[in-house]
Amino acid sequence: MTEEILEPDLPIIDPHHHLWDLRPLMGAFPEPRHPFIEALGDNAYYTFDELHAHLTSGHNVIGTVFMECGAFYRADASDDMKVVGEVEFVNGVAAQSACGLYGPLRACAAIIGHANLQLGDKAAPVLERLKAAAPDRFRGIRHQAAWDADPKVLGAPFHAPEGLYRDVSFREGFAHLARMGLTFDAWLLEPQLPDIIDLARVFPDQPICLDHCGTPLNIASYHGKLHERFDTWRHNIHELAKCENVVVKLGGLAMAFCGLPEKGPAAGFSSEDLGAMWRPYIETCIEAFGPSRAMFESNYPVDYWGADYPVLWNAFKRITLGASADEKRALYAGNAARFYGIEHILPAA
Cα(186)–Cα(243) distance, integer angstroms: 14
- Which residue type does 75 have? A
Cα(94)–Cα(66) distance, integer angstroms: 9
Sketch out the chain's domains with CATH numbers: 12-343 (3.20.20.140)
Which whole number is the average pLDDT over 169-198?
98
pLDDT at residue 2 is higher than 90: no
- Which residue type does 50 have? E
Q: What is the pLDDT of residues 198-231, one digit of tens each?
A: 999 999 999 999 999 999 999 999 999 999 999 9
For residue 17, the cross-strand partners are: 66, 300
Please list, in sequence order, all residues whose beta carbon lies within 8 angstroms of the beta carbon of residue 216, skipping any fewer than 6 positions away.
Answer: 190, 226, 229, 230, 233, 253, 258, 260, 281
User: Residue 314's closest CA among 273, 260, 259, 262?
Assistant: 273
pTM greater than the 0.75 cutoff: yes
| pLDDT for 1 | 60
DSSP 305-330: GT--HHHHHHHHHHHTTTS-HHHHHI
